[in-house]
Structure 1
Amino acid sequence: MVTNEQYARGDLFNPQCGTRVVLDRIGDKWTALAVLLLQHGPLRFTELRDGIGSVAPKVLTQTLRRLERDGLVTREVFAEVPPRVVYTLTPMGSSLIKPLTAVSEWAEEHIVAINHAQAEYDAGV
């Protein structure tokens, strides 16, 4: 049996390693985009959906629930008609901004080279 401590840390290449779950979560494109949008402050669901673009509401809901469960986002419901729900990054969620920004900048810097490599590969060069 795997204990919480064994699951929480260890060999990243071991399927039992909890770190892999975290990497899967932050490597999900919707997670990264939601966190990057929320870095500027609290947003409502529709603001997140519109900011991300092309994400199905069900998928965004699932992503936000996982982020809330993981302690990266808080969800606040206001007793209004209709109810207003606002999502905010927690301090731990905010700590993801710097690494996600670095990855985003890397992608921007290398997109032309990646597109070129893909075209060459697809052409059989």
Structure 2
Amino acid sequence: MSQRIHRPIDTPLRSGLNRDELWEAHDKGLIKCWEIGRQRAARFPELAQRCLVGELPVLGWKGGVSRSLKKLEKYGSLKYLAQWQGLRGEDLDVDLGEERPLTCSRTRMVVTFTPDRSKYFNQVAEVEV
């Protein structure tokens, strides 16, 4: 069963919601992460441009890469994916039940965004090549 969270990019940003409504509702905070990405794109156009060309820069959630690691694969949070989509000016489109791999255009690292926190929560820290 699909648990897809989708919002068109032209949807106005929400306001007046409490913490539970923002982070604990059916979307698990993905809409808020996407809205933050949209706001950051306006404030940091160079960051948005890096995302547009396929980079996965370090953000506030697990999933970004600053350099290539010995192991060219890692896991990331769906919250990162939502924020990245907002930075790119895309519709929010994340399925809470599926993994989604992306390859960073700069480092060639493959990051698999997953709903399974255990896959990225205790991940070994980045080790330089």
Q: Which has the higher contact order (CA 8 A, sep 6+)?
A: 2
| Structure ID, larger Rg | 1
* TM-score, with structure 2 as normaliser: 0.22
* TM-score, with structure 1 as normaliser: 0.23
Give the structure with the higher percent helix.
Answer: 1
Give the structure with the higher percent strand.
Answer: 2
